[in-house]
Structure 1
Amino acid sequence: MNFRLVFKLTGKTLLVEAAAMLLPLLVCLLYRENPLPFLITIPLIAAVGLILAHLRSDDHFFPREGFFAVALIWLLVGALGALPFFFWGRLYPELGLFRSYIDCFFESVSGFTTTGASILSAVEPLPKGILFWRSFMHWLGGMGVLILAIALLPSLGARTLHLMKAESPGPVVSKLVPKTSQSSKILYGIYCVMTLIQVLCLRLAGMPLYDSLVNSFATAGTGGFSVRNLSIAAYQSPTVEVIITLFMLLFSVNFALYFLVLCGKVRQVLKSDELRFFLIVVFASIVLISVNIRHMYPTPGEAVRHAAFQVGTIISTTGFASTDFNLWPEFSRVLLVLLMFIGACAGSTGGGIKCSRVLLLLKSILREIRQIVHPRSVNVVRLDGRVMDEDALRSVYVFFAAYMFITLGATLVVAVDNFTFGTTFTAVVACIGNIGPGLELVGPMGNYAAFSPLSKIVLSLCMIVGRLEVLPILVLFSGNAWKRS
């Protein structure tokens, strides 16, 4: 293991985090709030980053270093990103918010992993600078491990693509253009433009500029932190809900498809099996839930609007709320839990198992059935017209097995807190899927404050495991990864 190179990359990332905190510091100054939490944190993170970034190291870089570096970076970024919350909680203990560092760590990890789970019972008492940082963390972490690999490691050779082996094959694991640095710029360009368009749309719908910014950050990163206690429901605006629903779904689509559209390859986009599967699941779920909740709303249009918003927020793993779906019939609630597992498309800012993996698993099941019926036939699994090799399919099987084992194991640990199965299981599923709200105690109008410190740490690790596609964090905790040879 090339530890010096790993620490050097970590240091550079921490410098980026310190620079990113200048924006919420500026917001504090603009609204005449106490800037001390950021004035303490920024120099501290910058000092650590400078020390690590100036370590001398060779350029020997292999897949093990890549996975190890990404996992370590996300853990440290979450740990240090919690400091503004911690210092603010010490300055204003009378408000009873951010009482412990574990609570701050949970909130920070939830922000960077775009989970949106919160330990806060109320967010409106918080200053705008702190709220801005919560939502901005979503935007910073939104592009996930894919862009970390492309943006941070372009000079270390083509092996940087090993970081994305957990993703299913397709445009997502190949460079958009020959140079990885150019690919990074293209993806971030698309990301920024879509975010700005959403800000403009929300402003035209009557939302204040500050709210438009933070809600767009949370939507772009499919995170879900809101600056209102009632989330998006507080605005009482069908127009706002429709805009956010549309952009949640847009940010759930593979960003490589947007690049193909810009290149004029619309037909290739329309042939995407994953995109078609995603759209079918979304529209089918909206129809089924709309019918199931029709009796709860005055008009069919209102039922469809709420169904579309909640389907969009769950399958995109954003976590906003326009209504308390915890009060919906059991059929709709179970369907939403199934959408938590499916998640968004690969190569998007969303979480979950990802539509491409679910689609490959379904096709693999059908292949096995055909093989049993016709033992001598040759059956292959195709995605976007291409034959998937067995190594790619094996990686999907391993990912799914690891994902489910971690989910069940974490559920067993969190169950020690003795909450109901609905609360315990959906809390774990919502965290490892980077969704945020679950059912019952952790529903859209609830929070995670009642969990024990141990459960909060386990749930925080689940968030990182889910955001990093499982394997990087497993590599970090593997004894073989720490060996120098």
Structure 2
Amino acid sequence: MGLNTRIIVHIMGLLLLCNGSFMLLAAFASGIYKDGATLDITLAAIVTMLFGVMAMFYTRGHKKEVKRREGYLVVTLGWLVMSLSGSLPYIFSGTIPTVTNAFFETISGYTTTGASILDDIESLPKGILLWRSLTHWIGGMGIIVLAIAILPLLGIGGMQLFAAEAPGPGGDKLHPRITDTAKRLWLIYVGYTAAETLLLKLAGMSFFDALNHSLATLSTGGFSTKNASVAFWNHEPLIQYIIILFMFLAGSNFVLSYFAFTGKVQRILKDEEFKYYTSFIVLFTIIVALVVLFKANVPVSDFHPMVWGEAESAFRHGLFQVIAVVTTTGFVTADFTGWTPFLTVFFFGIMFLGGSAGSTAGGIKVMRHLLIIKNGLLEFKRTLHTNAIIPVRYNSKTVTEHIVYNIIAFFVLYMLLFILGSLVLGFLGLDFVSAIGGSASSLGNVGPALGSLNPVSNYNSLPNAGKWWCAFLMLLGRLELFTVLILLTPYFWKKT
């Protein structure tokens, strides 16, 4: 049977309508602040929605059935269509006039990577800044929907946490209907965004800055309204602690938040991934804080130790940067690559950790690391007891061999893509440190990298080919590799 292209085009039309509606919100904000970009953003919204209406109109008689092959195309094409249409406000307003740069900034937003090509963020119109943050928020929300409703149905092992056979919290359906589950997690997502906005406003941020940073935090994106990112508020510890809290929540499984709100606290405390996720952050923070306090040569302008003392400043900066990198949010309070060579390597290493499965974070994910380590340790027992059946257990449940093999395949493929990504960036002229940093950061959706792509720099120095390559890596990482790569295989396109 051939592909049901009409349903694919119909869904793309629906996505364009949604995208255009969010653009109108940015245009509304632009009108309130009278920043001069209102007409341009409105025009971008009209063009986007017009294409959406046309696509839905011409496919209105579609067969309402999405099979596995159509599902793969819907997921990948959906992100590409959103990114292409989402670049229109930048192009129409002239804030990012070139297609390459506009697309890079947009896909970095939707994939919640947070890598930017902009040299002077604060000079942008308010409406464009809001649109930039909204691309993060839409992308983060989309990942939740993918995790719950789409990828499990496609049998994607990478995000199968919500599939029936998967171990862990995802095996417990919040509601029998997937759509109702999505609504509940959306409500938490929106609620967290509103709560952080309110707290940041009370802590001293302007409402506009508070809203934008909340949109970027809950999506683990990292776009800021300031050139210095969150370092702009280094003299305001409370603001940074609030962002730390919500980065932690965004990087944890959203299902656990649902359990917390329904009083099932024991479910959270017993969850293996959450325990290790928290333990890793605590351990890494202690290491970084101690090194920064006793070894790093950090300027006073970076630390503001006069606020609450040097020890608190070292702890706060260490905690902030650890959570920002582990959750792949990418906000920065200082250039962590300039602290010590040890910490540069350390932060490069934790770029591969990732947040929890079922969160908006990128990266490999804590759950995958746990299962790979557990399976590796069990290999010693299997070597000694060749006839024994020794399964991997997670949250006291047996993990099927299918899932273990899938995760091992994912990990191997992830590392190969990282190496390939580094080689391509090196071929395009980047030095070794910048190449491996850019590859790891793009594939893990982290944002800040190493070398010329360090936290206080941006990706504008990349050649155009490098920007398109990094954009491809961002998409691969965000959609869990298999979803995109399967489209590049010849047997995917063969008629069955």
Give TM-score, length-normalised by structure 2.
Answer: 0.92
Deviation at 1:129, TM superposition (A): 0.6
Is 1:81 aligned to 2:86, yes or no?
Answer: yes
Q: Is the 8 A contact 1:66 1:160 kept in 2?
A: no
Is 1:306 aligned to 2:317, yes or no?
Answer: yes
Deviation at 1:484, TM superposition (A): 4.6
Which one of the candidate residues 153, 157, 162 is aligned to 1:165?
A: 157
Moved more, 182-191 or 398-407: 398-407
2:240: which partner in 1? 241
> Structure 1 414/123 Cα, relative in aligned 2: closer, same or farther at 3 Å?
same
1:379: which partner in 2? 390
Q: Is the 8 A contact 1:172 1:346 kept in 2?
A: no
Q: Structure 2 unaligned runs (5+)?
A: 299-304
2:291 alignment partner AA: N
2:75: which partner in 1? 70
Q: Is the 8 A contact 1:106 1:456 kept in 2?
A: yes
Deviation at 1:171, TM superposition (A): 3.2
Is 1:277 aligned to 2:276, yes or no?
Answer: yes
Q: Is the 8 A contact 1:146 1:163 kept in 2?
A: no
CA distance in 1, matches of 2:147, 2:10: 15
Percent sequence identity over matched residues?
35
1:328: which partner in 2? 339
2:11: which partner in 1? 9
- Indicate the SS of the match to 1:318: coil
Is 1:48 aligned to 2:59, yes or no?
Answer: no
Moved more, 296-305 or 216-225: 296-305
- Indicate the SS of the match to 1:382: strand
Deviation at 1:221, TM superposition (A): 0.5
CA distance in 1, matches of 2:431, 2:211: 37
CA distance in 1, matches of 2:123, 2:331: 19
Deviations 1:49-108 (A, max 9, x none): 11222302213322221121100100111111011111222xxxxxxx524100000000
- Indicate the SS of the match to 1:131: helix
2:302: which partner in 1? none
CA distance in 2, matches of 1:257, 1:164: 22
CA distance in 2, matches of 1:320, 1:337: 15
> Structure 1 173/341 Cα, relative in aligned 2: closer, same or farther at 3 Å?
farther
Deviation at 1:150, TM superposition (A): 5.0
> Relative contact order: is structure 1 or structure 2 higher (C-alpha 8 Å, sep ≥ 6)?
1
Query: For residues 26-175 of structure 1, what are the structure 2 equivalents within 5 Å?
Result: 26-34=28-36, 35-54=38-57, 55=59, 56-89=61-94, 98-148=96-146, 161-162=153-154, 164-167=156-159, 168=161, 169=166, 170-172=168-170, 175=173
Deviation at 1:269, TM superposition (A): 1.4
2:19 alignment partner AA: E
Q: Is the 8 A contact 1:109 1:460 kept in 2?
A: yes
Which one of the candidate residues 317, 328, 339 is aligned to 2:328?
A: 317
Moved more, 26-35 or 471-480: 471-480
Deviation at 1:380, TM superposition (A): 1.4
Aligned residues: 472
Moved more, 304-313 or 30-39: 30-39
Deviation at 1:173, TM superposition (A): 6.4
Which one of the candidate residues 204, 207, 230 is aligned to 1:206?
A: 204
> Structure 1 5/160 Cα, relative in aligned 2: closer, same or farther at 3 Å?
farther
1:278 alignment partner AA: Y
Is 1:260 aligned to 2:259, yes or no?
Answer: yes
Moved more, 207-216 or 332-341: 332-341
CA distance in 1, matches of 2:405, 2:423: 27
Moved more, 29-38 or 53-62: 53-62
- Indicate the SS of the match to 1:192: helix
Deviation at 1:372, TM superposition (A): 1.8
1:431: which partner in 2? 442
Deviation at 1:160, TM superposition (A): 6.2
2:301: which partner in 1? none
CA distance in 1, matches of 2:398, 2:214: 38
2:239 alignment partner AA: V
2:429 alignment partner AA: N
Moved more, 325-334 or 349-358: 325-334
RMSD: 1.7
Is 1:24 aligned to 2:8, yes or no?
Answer: no
CA distance in 1, matches of 2:173, 2:414: 27
Q: Is the 8 A contact 1:145 1:164 kept in 2?
A: no
Is 1:178 aligned to 2:170, yes or no?
Answer: no
2:106 alignment partner AA: S
Deviation at 1:319, TM superposition (A): 0.5
1:92: which partner in 2? none
Deviation at 1:397, TM superposition (A): 1.2
- Indicate the SS of the match to 2:423: helix
- Indicate the SS of the match to 2:334: coil
- Indicate the SS of the match to 1:321: coil
Deviations 1:204-257 (A, max 9, x none): 101100000000000010000001000011123111111111110111110011
Deviation at 1:472, TM superposition (A): 1.2
Q: Is the 8 A contact 2:157 2:407 kept in 1?
A: no
1:431 alignment partner AA: S
- Indicate the SS of the match to 2:116: coil
Query: For residues 416-455 of structure 1, what are the structure 2 equivalents within 5 Å?
Result: 416-455=427-466
Deviation at 1:465, TM superposition (A): 0.7
- Indicate the SS of the match to 1:458: helix
> Structure 1 261/446 Cα, relative in aligned 2: closer, same or farther at 3 Å?
same
Q: Structure 1 unaligned runs (5+)?
A: 90-96, 154-158
